[in-house]
Amino acid sequence: MCSKKPGSWEEHREDRVAVTRDIWRQIAGSFYEELLLSKARAISLLSNPESDVRIVAIWVCDQFWNCSRDEEFLHACRYLAMHDTDDFVRAQAISCLGKSLESTQDHSTSQFLAHVTKDNRNSERVRKAAYWALRQIQIGLTEKDEIKRAISLAKEASHKLSDAMPEAKVKQALLGGGHFPGIDWDSVDQIDWEFVDQYALEEPSQ
C-alpha cells in the first residue's frame, strides 16, 4: 500500500477547496453568494460589467456547477475568449473551452485557438492559454499537465489577490508551503509552432 508523501497534491485537496472559495469571495465581493445560488444565475453573471465578477463566474460555473457540457456556458466562454477586454478573463474562458472540449478535436474551436496563439497582438497570457487549450482539444492532457495547469491558474489568481490575500496563504493551501514550482506553461517559447500551424490554415469563423 502506497502512503501519501507529506505536502502531496492529494493530501492538500481540502485546503485547496477552502482557499479556492476564499479566492472567489475576495475577487467577486458582494456577488459571491449570488454565484452559488443557481447555475443559471452564475451563467448570467458571465456578462457582468465588472471583469472580476466575470472571472469568478467562469470559475464557479466550471468548478462548482460543472458546466463543462452546458451549451449556454460554452457559447459564453467562446464569446469572452474572442471579445472580452480583460486578458485574464479571456485566458480563463479559453482554458474552460479546452477542458469542455477535451479530446473532441472540435474543428472550429481548434482553428480559433490556433489563430489566437499565433497572433502576437494578443498577450502572452492569452496565447499560452490558447495553445494549451488547443492541445487539450486535439490530444488531451495528462494528469501531470492538469496539475501544472491548476498551479499555473493558482499563480495567476495569487497575482490578482496580491493586495487582499498573501501569496504565502495560497502556496500553503495548494502546495503545503514552499514555492510554486517552475512549470513549462510560463512562456510562449514552449509553443510547438508546427503543431499550431496544422490548425491555422484558414481564418476561423466569428
Domain that holds residue 138: 70-197
Q: Give the pTM.
A: 0.80
pLDDT tens digits along 165-200? 566 655 554 454 444 444 445 567 778 999 999 998
Residue 25 domain-assigned? no
Q: How many domains does one find in the chain?
A: 1
Q: Are 28 and 56 in contact (CB under 8 A)?
A: yes
Q: Residue 89: CB partners within 8 Å, gap ≥ 6? A: 51, 54, 55, 58, 80
Q: Are 60 and 36 in contact (CB under 8 A)?
A: yes
Residue 2 domain-assigned? no
pLDDT of 198 reads 93
